[in-house]
Amino acid sequence: MKKIFLTFVFALLSVIGFAQTGWQVDPMHSSVNFNIKHMGISFVQGRFDKFEGKAITKGNNLDNAELSFSVYVSSINTGVEMRDNHLKSADFFDAEKFPYMTFVTSSVVKEKNNSYVFKGKLTIKDVTKEISVPVTFGGVTKNQQGKEVMGFQAAFKVNRLDYNIKYDPTGAGVAKDVDVNLYFEMVKQ
């Protein structure tokens, strides 16, 4: 009887130790933003209005998390319809042919305090590259409905030419590097 009880306890601890938690991006409290230099003297800011993402964690932090995000390219919004339509064209994102940009983690490394580095594959158009994204973990709390939510933000640069966004390859009018800022709140599932 004692052996059966101990076997049950070890099995239960194993399940608890490996329990995974699913999280879903809350689009009402999240944003995908970018900023790019224009003509070498000013900046154009924009965002993508439609995106989704999910995470699997082994607790209420990002240690060893698995994350995946998709951005709908046609949801680009710079506040100028003519420019947005140009950005959706084959000159830039070719949204009709490549409707999504995706990022999938291959590893999550904890730095100090609330800092992490997400390493993973970023796909834009027909190009997939391994990148490292520094992330600041905001923590976990309960929202107004009593559901657990986690927050984090990330800021990194992408060279658009690396992803076959070749319009103005000199970077004189439209810079090569794009600053990306992500703010995510995820709801526990």
Q: How far apart are CA 72 and CA 78, in angstroms?
A: 14
Please name the helix (run of DSSP H) or strand (run of DSSP E) that holds residue 6, with its range, or none. helix 2-17
pTM of the model: 0.87
List, for residues 152-162, the tens digit of each pLDDT value: 999 999 999 99
CATH code at 20-188: 2.40.128.110
Domain ranges of the chain: 20-188
Q: Which residues are CB-neighbours of 10 under 8 A, at least 6 positions away?
A: none
Neighbouring CB atoms inside 10 A of 111's CB total 11
If you average pLDDT over residues 77-84, what whole number do you get?
A: 98
List, for residues 102-122, the tens digit of each pLDDT value: 999 999 999 999 999 999 999
